[in-house]
Each structure stands twice: as C-alpha cells, then as structure tokens.
Amino acid sequence: MIALRIGLPQPNFNQLEKHLYEVSDPDHERYGQHLSKAEVEHLVAPHQESIDSVNEWLFSFGLAEDDLVKSPARDWVTVKVPVSLAEKMLDTQYHVWKHSESGDYLVRTTSYSLPSDLHDHVDLIQPTTMFGRFKKHKSTIFKVTAEKDALSKASNSEPIVDSVSGVTVDASCNKVITITCLQQLYNAVGFVPSANVGNSIGITGYLGQFANKQDLQSFFADQRPDALNSTFKFISVNGGLNNQTLDEAGDEADLDVQFAFGLSHPIAPTFYSTEGEPPFIPDVVTPTNTNEQVPMTSNLVVPYTEWLDFILSHKNPPLAISTSYGDDEQTVPESFANRACAGFAQLGARGVSLMFSSGDGGVGDGDPDPATQQCFTNDGRNATKFIPGFPASCPFVTAVGGTSHVPEVAVSRFFSGGGFSNYFSRPAYQEKVVQAYLDSLPKGTYAGLFNPNGRAFPDVSAQSDFFKVFIGGQAFLIGGTSASSPAFTGFVALLNDIRLKAKRPPMGFLNPFLYSKGFAGLNDITSGNNAGCGTPGFNVGKIPWFYCVYRLQGLLHSQPKVGIQVRAIKGLPKAETDTFPEVTGLGTPNFGKLKDLVLAI
C-alpha cells in the first residue's frame, strides 16, 4: 500500500498573501486583525473545477468518495492504494530502492505522468520521484564533566557588562548557558508572564525525537524550580510517538522543550511528534539519513505537510511555534517548497509566529577549506554554489541564526546558517536593508555563488552554544542553531503575553514588524562569520564593516582558487544597514525594549 498525496492549485493564494502582509505590518490600519480558520481556508481553496476533475480521475480507477481524505481547504487529497493501482494511475512503475550506505528502503518511481486535462488541476503528487531524507539541525553534545570547575572559575570573575545591550551577565554564562543567562543577556530578569490570558507556545518534533518529561523535571529543578511538577501537553501527529523511557530521550526534543518552555513558564506548552519524512533530492552534503532508519513500509514523505494539515485543521494552534529541522533548499523540490511555504503563510495569517533555526552549515556545508568543501549543485552540473536551507528560506517564517559568548558574536563553532534563497524572491519587508547591504559590497563579491535577488536569512539570532540540557537523566552541553530557535521562541511567547494582557492580538507573522520597527529592540551583533563552501562566508561588522572579499577564479569544485582582499565599507544609515542579515540577521532580542515597542503598535 502507498498513500498518494495530491496537491491541488491554490488560485487565490495571492489574496491570502496580501491579507498576511496587511495584518502583519505595524504601519497598516489592519495590523493584528488576523484571519479566522474559515477565512484562510476560503482563500486557499482550489476551484471547484479542479476538485471535480481530480475526483473524476480518481473515481475512474474504482475509488469512492469515502476513500478520499481531504485537507480542511480541500487543497490536498490523500488516497491509500496498492502500489499496483498507483502504477496504473500514474502510468509508471514503482520499485523498492535501498540506499547503499545507510540501508534505508524507499518505494519510489523515476517518472510519472497524468492525463493532459489534469495538468492545470494538480500541482504535485507524492511519493513519486523524490528520493532521499530529512534531517534535524545539528545538536552537538558535550557531556558536562567539567561543569563544576568551569563554574568555580567563573564565580571568581567579575560579572560581564555587555557593551551592546548594556546588561550585566554572570561570568559563568561564557561557559554554560542557562535560563538565567538568557534572561540576563536579553533583559528579561524579573518578568513573569500570565498563565490565564490565552497564550500558548509549541515545539515540533520529527524523526523519532522524544521529549522526556523526567528530564524536563530535572531541568526545572536545576534552572526553573518554580516550574517543578508542571509539564507539557503531548500531541501525536500521524502516529508520532513520545517514548518516555529515559534512554530513548532525544537530544533535540529535550533541548527544545526545556529551553522554550523554561523561558516561557507558565504559558501553556505543547509538544508535537510527527511521523514521516519529506520529499528530497539527494546531494553531496546530506546523502544519507543518520537520524533514523525508515522501514520499507514507510511511504510518508512530507512531515511539514503532515504537520501543517494537522495544525491547520485546529481552530486554536499555539501562538508561537519553533522548529529545529530542515533540509538543504536544493534537496527540496521547488513545488513542495512552495506548497509548504504557503502552509506556513496560512498560519501567519491566523496570528501564529513561526520560528525555524537557520541551520549550522554557514553558507552551505560549514567547511571553509576549498579542497574539501561539498557545496555542489545537484542538477547534474556539480557546480560550486552556496546552499541555502529550507524552511528557513521561506519568506513567511522567521529564521533564527546563532550567536555565542558575552559580548555576543556570530557562533563560531557551528557556523550559523545564512544566505540567499534560490527559490524565493526577496520580500518587500527586507528590501531596504538587504539591497543597501548588496550595494555596499565590492563588485564581484562571491559572484555566481549566491542569488542576490533571493530572500535573505536569518532574520534574527539568539545564543546557540553551551546550553545546559538534561538528556536521559544526565546534564550535557549542547550547541547549534537548534538551540537558538526555541530560545528566541520563548521570548516571542513573552511578547505575546504583553500583547494579550493589554487586550491586543498576538504578534503573528513577525518579519514585517522586525524589519520596520522591531530592529530597534534588537542587539547588534558586530563580529563573526558563517564559513562554508570553501570560503569564510559572510562576515558581521559594525559600521564601517571590515571583511574579506573572495574572488573565485574558475569554480572547479576540486580545487577552487581563492584570492583574498580586505576592504572597508563606509558607514551607511543605521536604519538601513545596521546589521548583516546573512549571518545573524537583525540581531538578538532585548526584551526590555521589545516589550515597549509591541505595546506602541
């Protein structure tokens, strides 16, 4: 059996997009007037002609209305059929494919076709030609064996005054990041949110990552004792599990729930576990699945749409949601990327803030060595090119990069992901800051390696290294942008608390606010870079910026030759070019400033 998911066109999506930007723009009269579930579904519904045409086609193969599972807006149809019938429907032949390195099995075909009269009524069908996998963003773990020594040395040091934000931070925070460190660094000490104003926060989990409740209690005892004996609501999506055996605890899941829910307590928390994996075209960077073995019987390929179908069917989804999973953008078929991104837009229009970690590969693979870099296109040319990440590259989500240390710099050990999308054009909300940056670059900088007209990411950043997390009953330090996204989301939940207590709507889609007014409540990051693809990547710099310009001579992936020049860029207006979006975005949160800004709109 195979579950075919058929995507029908959304002819009025441009109208939804218009509504999304109006209700998310703090300068628009409709700001905060989010759409209802029914209104969003009406705007993304396919034409009746498309529904009828697809139904007629399915019925011609003996299927009945009861065999069709449709999404709330009827823009997705799922049918579970024998592979032999799928072959007839799609005029193709499926095979069982085994991955030579990992041993994973998939049921796929190399081509398929539809009757010509259906071409205008179907966007995509999966699983068909999409081979490959899905990955959690890197969570590098270090066992906390020397924590006492580190903290003992730090206790003898003077507190650190951050030169950018002016806040005072314990010296220990340069060794171990805790809830207290984040509250100090991001100016939220003493703020207590409400539990009864309708606020909520969510974490998504995939790939069999289990969030352990006993670990959460250990974390609360260590860092948030007032939250002891509280827990999160668990929701299974498509059969997702949350095994509570201690030795099955997931590093990613534990990290996400402990810091997101620890920062936002007592705001109502939910953890979603979704079974399945998305469509994917293998490339050199992520050719295998190191996170789980996919059984031969598993034909689910789209966890984002599985989760989106589920969450969009609910009237009241969490108001701030973090995801620390993604793919190289080029490994996601563009048709799927567009449909998933459109689903994120639906949530934004309904008042949900979506955060995604920007990844840990810098501008591609995280490798600054030209001799060993793996940033090759997977279109048959094997050309060297920066590799953006998805869903961080979707313009309807807030991508979160990583910083480390106090004062903060772009995280150096994991190379905060960032760059320019090859699928999505640059949205209007970031036109001014990104175009000003591009105009300031010396002519020819990284020419041909990135799309200067694409959506730039990340949008913001937060600490992403040395997070103290409890996993399987033990304390560990974790690093990666998989830490920064749930941390930033915790502060978004606090901002929603401010808004809701003032009888105002939640923040919703954040980016128009961040790029127009919110940047005034963010801390500039003035140092660091995001190496990858045989280059140091993009650099962060305080105005004037100093950075290396790399001119690739040839683009032979075996030994690209790199010449280095150091240039200075004259200062430009602060509101236009204050930070470098492709490393740390507009900056890290200063909650003390942001809470005043969100009450002023």
Sequence length of the chain is 601
Beta strands in 458-560 (DSSP E): 460-463, 467-471, 474-479, 522-523, 545-553
CA distance 510 to 514: 6
Sign of the alpha-carbon torsion through 509, 271, 238, 95 = positive
CA distance 393 to 370: 25
CA 99-103-104 angle, 5° bins? 70
Q: Active-site residues: which are they?
A: 252, 256, 482
Torsion of CA 101, 103, 107, 111, to 10 degrees: 10
Task: Name the token pair of 398.
Answer: 């807030």
Going by C-alpha positions, the residue among 329, 442, 312 that lies closest to residue 390 is: 329
- Coil vs helix vs strand at 172: helix
CA distance 322 to 356: 6
Q: β-strands 140-143, 200-205: how paired?
A: unpaired
Q: Are the C-beta atoms of residues 233 and 314 closer than 8 Å to each other?
A: no
> Token match 């889609």: residue?
509
Q: Are the C-beta atoms of residues 202 and 272 closer than 8 Å to each other?
A: yes
- Tell me how crowded residue 481 is: count the other CB atoms within 10 A of its CB: 36
Helix (H) / strand (E) containing 236: strand 233-237
CA distance 384 to 165: 39
Going by C-alpha positions, the residue among 445, 444, 451, 601 that lies closest to residue 538 is: 445
Task: Name the token pair of 173.
Answer: 């925070």
Q: Are the C-beta atoms of residues 270 and 264 closer than 8 Å to each other?
A: no
Beta strands in 345-425 (DSSP E): 353-357, 389-390, 398-404, 409-410, 419-425
Q: Supply the pLDDT for residue 330.
A: 87
Q: Supply the pLDDT for residue 297.
A: 35
Domains of the chain, each with CATH number or no CATH: 2-129 (no CATH), 136-157+193-288+299-535+580-600 (3.40.50.200)
CA distance 355 to 394: 11
Peptide bond into 391 cis (omega under 30): yes
What DSSP character marks residue 124?
E
| 145: alpha, beta or left? (left if phi > 0; alpha if psi -120 to 50) | alpha
CA distance 504 to 326: 33
Divide the 601 residues of the chain into consecutive groups of 10 and give the mean pLDDT of each group.
93 98 98 98 98 98 97 94 97 86 76 96 87 61 51 66 86 95 97 97 94 98 98 95 96 96 98 72 49 38 77 96 90 84 97 94 87 89 92 96 90 78 97 88 88 96 95 92 95 98 98 97 85 82 31 33 31 39 83 97 94
CA distance 211 to 203: 10
pTM comes to 0.88
Q: One-letter amino acid identity for 501?
A: K
Q: Supply the pLDDT for residue 479.
A: 87
Q: Supply the pLDDT for residue 288.
A: 44
Q: Supply the pLDDT for residue 438.
A: 85
CA distance 591 to 570: 31
